[in-house]
C-alpha cells in the first residue's frame, strides 16, 4: 500500500481541495491481488487504490470510454512469425500506467483510506490523472501510449488498433493495456526501443516472456512455443470441485445429441451459466478442440436440465486430463502454405431445428491463428447451401487476416484465392452431379 500511495503522490494524481458544495464526490477502495507466475506460484502481493466508477455521471464526470483491446489472432500471428523467422521476443510492463494519462473531465475522489491528511480528513482529491476505476481511464491511457509510440516511429495497424509495427526496423508490438509483447529480427533494435520507452515510462522488461494475455508460453529447446491456459483450467476445476475427479479422454460422449434432447430434472440456471461462461473462454483462445462441445451446451443454459449438467461434468473431467494441452507453434516445413483455410459444414446437424453446423480453421505458416465452429444462423436447404454459408464466413475472416498481413508488409505467396478455388470446386462438383431441380439451389 505504501508503494502504491507513493506512486499516486509522485505522479500528481490529484490535488487536495475542500469538498465541493454541489459536485458529487466519488468513493474509492483498496483492491488487493496476488500476482502469480506460470507455475501458479505467488510472486508478490499487489495493492491498488481504485475509485467507484458507478458513482460517475455521463457528460459530467466522463465522455467517451471506448478503448480497443488486443486480438488473440494478432498475437498468434506474431508467435507464428517469431518461430518461423527466429525473431527475438521481449515483454514489458508499464508500472501504474493509467497515472501517466491526463484526466479529461472534472472528478472529485475521496482521499486514500489510511492515508488521509491529518486535520483535513474531510477534504477530497480533484483528479489530475486517470485514476484506476474511472470509466475513461483505459481510453486516456491508450491515447497517451499511442502518442508515445508514434514518436518512436511505430504505427498501428488499421485492422487492429493494438498491433504496432515498424517495417523498416522489422519490429512488431502487441499491446494489451499496459503489457507489451514485442518481436523483432534483431535483439539490439528491441533493446534500443525498450530503452527509449523507459524514458517516458517506468517499465519492467523480460526476455522470452512466459505469460501474456492470460496465456502461458512454454519455450522449447528447438525454438518452438507451446501456448496453453493451465492456470485457468485449474481455476475452473476448483470452482466446481472437479480437481480430484476421474479423468476422461474425450470432451463429449458419442451420443451427445441424444443426451441433450433427453428430458430430465431441472438444474440450477446460475451454476450452469457460470460454468458455460468460464468454459467458453478456453476454446476462443487455446482449445479449439472443445469449441463444438461448449457451443452446443451454450444452447441449454436457460432452463438447463441435469442431463445438460452431466455433459458439463464430462467436459470438466476431460479438462482435468488435459490441463496443459494447448497450441504448439513450430517452424513450417512447407513454406509454400503461408495462409491456408480449411472449412466444412454438416447439413441438418440439429434434430429439432434441422439447422446445419459449420466450422473452419485458418493457419499461418503452419500454425493455427483463427478458428470457429457454431450453428449456422439460417436454415440451409441443402448440403451445398450449407457449404456456401460457411465459405462466406470463412472467406471474410481470411480477407481480414490477409489485409492485416499486408499492412505488416508480410508478403503472401498463397492467399484467399486458394479458398475461393475450393468454393468453386464445390459448386462445379455439385453441378456435374445435380438432378433436375439443382439449378434452383445454386441461384
Please check whether residues 103 and 125 belong to one and the same domain: yes
Please check whether residues 431 and 366 belong to one and the same domain: yes
- Residue at 40 is within a domain: yes
pLDDT of residue 346: 87
pLDDT of residue 330: 94
The bridge status of strand 179-184 relative to strand 88-94 is: antiparallel
pLDDT of residue 427: 53
Query: Would the pLDDT of 377 be above 80?
Result: yes
pLDDT of residue 70: 87
At which of 293, 321, 349 does a domain end?
321
Count how many residues are written for the chain.
443
Can you tell me the distance from the alpha carbon of 209 to that of 91, in angstroms, rounded to the nearest whole number? 6
Please check whether residues 33 and 179 belong to one and the same domain: yes
**Three cell numbers, residue 284:** 476462443
Please check whether residues 282 and 261 belong to one and the same domain: yes
**Three cell numbers, residue 255:** 451420443
pLDDT of residue 75: 95
Q: List pLDDT tens digits, range 219-265.
A: 999 989 999 999 999 999 999 999 999 989 999 998 887 777 777 88
- Residue at 326 is within a domain: no
Structural domain total, the chain? 3
- Residue at 296 is within a domain: yes
Q: List pLDDT tens digits, range 170-192.
A: 899 999 998 999 999 999 999 99
Please check whether residues 16 and 128 belong to one and the same domain: yes
Residue 73 pLDDT grade (very low, low, confident, very high; cuts 50, 70, 90): very high
Please check whether residues 27 and 142 belong to one and the same domain: yes
Can you tell me the distance from the alpha carbon of 409 to that of 179, in angstroms, rounded to the nearest whole number? 24
- Residue at 328 is within a domain: no
- Residue at 105 is within a domain: yes
Please check whether residues 235 and 115 belong to one and the same domain: no
pLDDT above 70: percentage of residues in the chain = 92
pLDDT of residue 418: 52
Q: What does pLDDT average to over the chain?
A: 87
- Residue at 114 is within a domain: yes
Please check whether residues 286 and 205 belong to one and the same domain: no
Could you please report the per-residue DSSP string of 294-319?
HHHHGGG-SS-BHHHHHHHHHHHHHH
Element spanning 421, H or E: helix 417-433
Please check whether residues 204 and 72 belong to one and the same domain: yes
pLDDT of residue 194: 95
Strand (E) positions, 318-356?
A: 327-329, 339-346
- Residue at 188 is within a domain: yes
Q: How many CB atoms lie within 10 A of CB 186?
A: 13
3-class DSSP state for residue 174? strand
Q: List pLDDT tens digits, range 14-45.
A: 999 999 988 889 999 998 888 777 667 777 88
DSSP one-letter code for 370:
E
pLDDT above 90: percentage of residues in the chain = 56
At which of 191, 217, 243 does a domain end?
217
Bridge partners of 344, per DSSP, are 359
Average pLDDT score over residue span 385-393: 87
Q: List pLDDT tens digits, range 135-161.
A: 999 999 999 999 999 999 999 998 899
Query: Would the pLDDT of 348 be above 90?
Result: no
pLDDT of residue 246: 92
Place of cell 508490438: 173
Query: Would the pLDDT of 387 be above 80?
Result: yes
Please check whether residues 375 and 432 belong to one and the same domain: yes
Identify the CA nearest to 257 among candidates 342, 355, 384, 343.
Answer: 355
pLDDT of residue 127: 93
Can you tell me the distance from the alpha carbon of 336 to that of 199, in angstroms, rounded to the nearest whole number? 42
pLDDT of residue 349: 82
pLDDT of residue 108: 93
Query: Would the pLDDT of 380 be above 60?
Result: yes
Please check whether residues 190 and 269 belong to one and the same domain: no
Query: Would the pLDDT of 327 be above 80?
Result: yes
Residue 438 pLDDT grade (very low, low, confident, very high; cuts 50, 70, 90): low
Place of cell 433427453: 262
Bridge partners of 91, per DSSP, are 181, 206
Query: Would the pLDDT of 311 be above 60?
Result: yes
Q: List pLDDT tens digits, range 399-426.
A: 899 899 989 988 776 555 455 445 545 5
DSSP one-letter code for 411:
-
First to last CA, the chain: 67
pLDDT of residue 436: 47
Identify the CA nearest to 231 among candidates 422, 427, 44, 36.
Answer: 36
Q: Domain residues for 350?
A: 335-441
Element spanning 110, H or E: strand 108-110
Residue 3 pLDDT grade (very low, low, confident, very high; cuts 50, 70, 90): confident
Using only the alpha carbons of the chain, give its radius of gyration.
Answer: 26
- Residue at 395 is within a domain: yes
Average pLDDT score over residue span 102-110: 92
Element spanning 386, H or E: helix 383-407
Please check whether residues 7 and 150 belong to one and the same domain: yes
Can you tell me the distance from the alpha carbon of 241 to that of 235, in angstroms, rounded to the nearest whole number? 10
Helix axes 230-239, 306-321, angle to 10 degrees: 140
At which of 280, 299, 321 does a domain end?
321
Element spanning 150, H or E: helix 137-151
Amino acid at each position: 500500500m505504501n508503494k502504491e500511495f507513493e506512486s499516486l503522490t509522485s505522479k500528481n494524481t490529484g490535488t487536495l481541495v475542500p469538498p465541493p458544495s454541489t459536485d458529487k464526490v466519488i468513493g474509492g477502495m483498496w483492491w488487493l491481488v496476488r500476482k502469480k507466475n506460470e507455475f501458479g506460484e505467488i510472486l508478490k502481493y499487489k495493492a491498488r487504490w481504485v475509485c467507484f466508477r458507478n458513482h460517475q455521471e455521463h457528460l459530467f464526470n466522463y465522455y467517451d470510454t471506448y478503448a480497443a483491446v488486443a486480438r488473440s489472432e494478432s498475437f498468434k500471428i506474431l508467435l507464428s512469425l517469431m518461430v518461423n523467422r527466429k525473431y527475438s521476443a521481449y515483454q514489458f510492463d508499464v508500472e501504474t500506467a493509467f497515472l501517466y494519462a491526463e484526466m479529461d473531465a472534472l472528478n472529485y475522489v475521496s482521499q486514500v483510506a489510511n492515508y488521509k491528511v491529518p486535520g483535513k480528513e474531510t477534504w477530497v482529491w480533484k483528479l489530475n490523472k486517470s485514476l484506476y476505476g474511472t470509466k475513461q481511464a483505459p481510453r486516456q491511457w491508450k491515447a497517451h501510449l499511442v502518442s508515445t509510440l508514434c514518436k518512436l516511429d511505430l504505427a498501428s495497424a488499421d485492422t487492429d488498433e493494438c498491433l504496432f509495427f515498424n517495417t523498416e526496423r522489422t519490429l512488431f508490438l502487441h499491446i494489451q493495456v499496459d503489457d507489451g509483447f514485442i518481436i523483432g529480427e534483431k535483439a539490439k533494435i528491441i533493446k534500443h526501443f525498450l530503452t527509449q520507452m523507459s524514458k517516458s515510462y517506468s517499465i519492467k522488461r523480460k526476455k522470452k516472456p512466459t505469460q501474456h494475455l492470460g496465456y502461458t508460453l512454454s519455450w522449447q529447446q528447438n525454438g518452438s512455443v507451446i501456448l496453453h491456459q493451465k492456470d485457468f483450467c485449474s481455476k475452473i476445476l476448483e470452482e466446481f470441485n472437479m480437481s480430484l475427479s476421474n479423468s476422461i479422454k474425450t470432451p463429449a460422449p458419442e451420443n451427445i445429441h441424444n443426451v441433450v434432447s433427453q428430458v430430465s430434472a431441472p438444474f440450477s440456471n446460475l451454476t450452469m451459466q457460470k460454468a458455460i461462461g468460464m468454459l467458453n473462454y478456453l476454446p476462443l483462445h487455446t482449445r479449439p478442440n472443445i469449441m463444438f462441445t461448449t457451443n452446443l451446451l451454450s444452447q441449454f443454459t436457460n432452463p438447463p436440465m441435469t442431463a445438460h449438467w452431466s455433459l458439463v461434468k464430462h467436459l470438466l473431467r476431460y479438462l482435468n486430463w488435459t490441463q496443459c494441452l494447448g497450441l504448439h507453434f513450430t517452424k513450417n516445413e512447407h513454406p509454400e502454405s503461408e495462409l491456408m483455410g480449411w472449412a466444412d459444414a454438416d447439413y441438418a446437424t440439429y434434430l429439432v431445428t434441422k439447422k446445419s453446423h459449420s466450422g473452419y480453421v485458418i493457419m499461418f505458416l503452419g500454425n493455427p491463428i483463427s478458428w470457429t465452429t457454431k450453428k449456422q444462423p439460417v436454415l440451409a436447404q441443402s448440403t451445398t447451401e450449407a457449404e456456401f454459408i460457411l465459405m462466406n464466413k470463412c472467406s471474410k475472416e481470411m480477407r481480414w487476416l490477409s489485409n492485416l498481413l499486408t499492412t505488416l508488409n508480410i508478403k503472401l505467396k498463397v492467399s484467399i484465392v486458394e479458398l475461393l478455388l475450393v468454393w468453386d470446386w464445390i459448386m462445379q462438383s455439385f453441378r456435374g452431379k445435380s438432378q433436375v431441380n439443382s439449378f434452383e439451389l445454386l441461384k
